[in-house]
A = this chain, B = another copy of it.
Amino acid sequence: MTANQSMSQVPLTLEGSWVLHQMFRLRWAEWRALSASDRQDIAAEAAVLIGGDQAARQQSAVFQILGHKGDLMFIHFCKSFEQLHAVEHQLEATRLHTYLEPASSYVSVIELGLYDSSVKLYRELNEKGTAPHTPEWNAAIEETLKRQREAMQSRLFPEIPNHKHVCFYPMDRKRGEHKNWYTLPIEERQRQMEEHGLVGRRYAGKVRQIITGSIGFDDWEWGVDLFSDDPLVFKKLIYEMRFDQVSAEYALFGSFYVGSRMMADEVSGFLGASK
């Protein structure tokens, strides 16, 4: 193990909204067999869910996705894990749900990785001779987390970005026999993440990125949502990043879902309720 053993290797993270992605296929044949007015009523009932519940600090958005991976993708931002169950249950209680076939899903929580603060803090504590996991060490960690959490409220509990298009994919950091992210020293990981961040910063204004952590919740380590009004930007950004060391050598990607937002009043149109 090449890592500097005198320092913690675990980057501090902050967590915000709980997130559920749900991808569904519509059972078109059964749906089309309904009368136009039934379709209209059912679509209207479902549209109520979209936009979420402001009083409960819960947001939902729906996207039509391209290709055979699904017809609809819901993204829910919730204030608690229990609310993820509740929002899933609300959808199950709609009549529309009978016509939806679950195709995929993703459970995660908005995560901010504090590589810079972590390395800085661990170095200071190390220099002061504060041993990991002592009360003094724990207090310093807690104080840093508290300060950052306050500073980053809006990034931890954001609105679902209002852009026209979405790109969602899950990813892992590689643990190969020779290239293993988790055995790199934290300073090296911080350096690579910083380089990676520089690319992202050049796309500020063109794309909004929300990173969610899913270790312990789903089959990949992170879920990434990109939102943009220009879908070409998804390709430009991800392709450029692929040449960063951290992506080139350590990134593994799952399936990509790409689609376009539907506001509540567009759902009926999509579902053909008015035909």
List the interface of chain A (C-beta within 8 A of B): 1, 3, 9-10, 13, 15, 20, 22-23, 25, 28-29, 32, 64, 66-69, 81-82, 84-85, 88-89, 92-93, 97-98, 102-107, 109, 133, 165, 167, 175-180, 182-183, 202, 213-219, 226, 231-232, 234-235, 237-240, 242-243, 245, 247-249, 251, 255-256, 258-260, 270, 272, 275
Contact = CB atoms under 8 A, between A and B. Distances in A.
Contacts of A88: 66-67
A256 B218 contact: yes
Contact of A248 (B28, B182, B202): B182
B234 A216 contact: yes
A151 to B, nearest CB: 20
Given A67-B20, A165-B81, A217-B234, A249 B180 contact: yes
Given A82-B260, A243-B9, A248-B180, A98 B68 contact: no
The 10 residue pairs across chains A and B that have the minimum distance between CB atoms = A67-B105, A216-B234, A68-B102, A182-B248, A68-B105, A177-B178, A81-B231, A216-B235, A216-B238, A9-B243
A235 B84 contact: no
Contacts of A242: 182, 215
Nearest to A254: B219
